[in-house]
């Protein structure tokens, strides 16, 4: 049997690194872990010695990860998650169809509101041993996929097809393609002449070229917090909006949805997970329910 070496990090050392990064404080990390502050400091110093890099900048304002620390904490989260999965998969080895354990999901707002609820119901009905935990994350910057890359989520419902490649170790698969539509108050004779209501998550890389080619779209005069606020403002007669299909699920009768024609933009919605977790029972069960919940004809090719 292989023996550990002085350079190996123990799971408890990994937990300390994650706790310090998450709380930004040695004392807060100690309180959360049930340790003394000196024990946390000793553990971090030991980890830094084994790794050969400074992982945290210490100061009066607390502890902040260095670039080396950011990378180390990301790997620590993912290793700790794999240890959890190892235990759950070993317990369920005699019952391969009975997946159990936590599955952490990151999703942008409209996916969390309109795509996930039936998926989670089916998942609980078919696999009562699975405990889904959902976080709603704004789809800007690194977005939901970044939560998976950083080890905070096992699977992300994400928008795919941007110019930036996925971080190493992640895999992505499409689920559906969403068309964009023009949304305005019913019966307006010239809805394209209305002011534009928009929100920061909307015009991603997948629509930018189309957007730039439309000389009738003005600069947004109102920028709302999210797509729900956009719908409310459009319903109140404050302008028009260009929105993807998920955001328009269950739209009120006080707005009219107009097709943008054959050249309309679309965005691809899919899921992102790590190559290690893609084969885990909980992620495979979740992916099956995601695919099963798609209406006929809406799946991505």
Per residue, what are the HEC states of 26-40? HHHHHHHHCCCHHHH
Tens digit of each residue's pLDDT (9 = 90 or more) over 155-214: 999 999 876 778 888 999 999 999 999 999 999 999 999 999 999 888 666 677 888 888
DSSP H or E run through 282: helix 281-292
Give the model confidence (pLDDT) of 10-30 as tens digits: 999 999 999 999 999 999 999
Is the pLDDT reported for residue 1 higher than 50?
A: no
- DSSP SS3 for 256: strand
Q: What is the pLDDT of residues 113-168, one digit of tens each?
A: 999 999 999 999 999 999 999 999 998 888 999 999 999 999 999 999 876 778 88
Mean pLDDT of the chain: 90
Overall residue count recorded for the chain in this entry: 301
66: number of Cβ within 10 Å: 14
- State the Cα–Cα distance between residues 126 and 284, nearest whole angstrom: 13
């Amino acid at each position: 049997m292989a023996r550990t070496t002085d350079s190996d990090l123990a799971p408890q050392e990994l937990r300390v690194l994650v706790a310090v990064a998450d709380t930004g404080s040695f004392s807060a990390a100690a309180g959360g872990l049930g340790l003394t502050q000196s024990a946390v400091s000793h553990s971090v110093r030991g980890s830094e010695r084994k790794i050969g890099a400074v992982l945290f900048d210490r100061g009066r304002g607390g502890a902040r990860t260095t670039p080396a620390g950011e990378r180390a904490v990301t790997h620590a989260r993912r290793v700790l998650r794999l240890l959890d999965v190892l235990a759950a998969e070993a317990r369920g080895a005699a019952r391969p169809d009975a997946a159990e354990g936590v599955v952490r999901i990151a999703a942008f707002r409209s996916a969390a509101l309109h795509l996930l609820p039936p998926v989670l119901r089916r998942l609980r009905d078919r696999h009562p041993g699975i405990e889904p935990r959902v976080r709603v994350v704004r789809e800007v910057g690194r977005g939901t996929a970044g939560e998976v890359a950083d080890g905070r989520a096992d699977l992300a419902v994400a928008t795919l097809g941007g110019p930036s490649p996925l971080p190493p170790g992640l895999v992505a698969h499409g689920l559906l393609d969403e068309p964009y539509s023009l949304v305005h108050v019913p019966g307006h004779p010239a809805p394209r002449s209305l002011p534009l209501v928009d929100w920061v998550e909307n015009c991603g890389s997948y629509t930018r070229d189309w957007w730039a080619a439309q000389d009738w779209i003005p600069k947004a005069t109102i920028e709302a917090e999210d797509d729900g606020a956009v719908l409310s403002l459009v319903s109140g007669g404050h302008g028009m909006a260009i929105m993807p299909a998920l955001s328009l699920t269950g739209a009120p009768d006080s707005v009219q949805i107009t097709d943008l024609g054959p050249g309309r933009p679309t965005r691809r919605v899919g899921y992102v997970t790590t190559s290690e977790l893609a084969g885990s029972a909980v992620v495979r069960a979740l992916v099956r329910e995601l695919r099963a919940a798609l209406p006929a004809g809406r799946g991505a090719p």
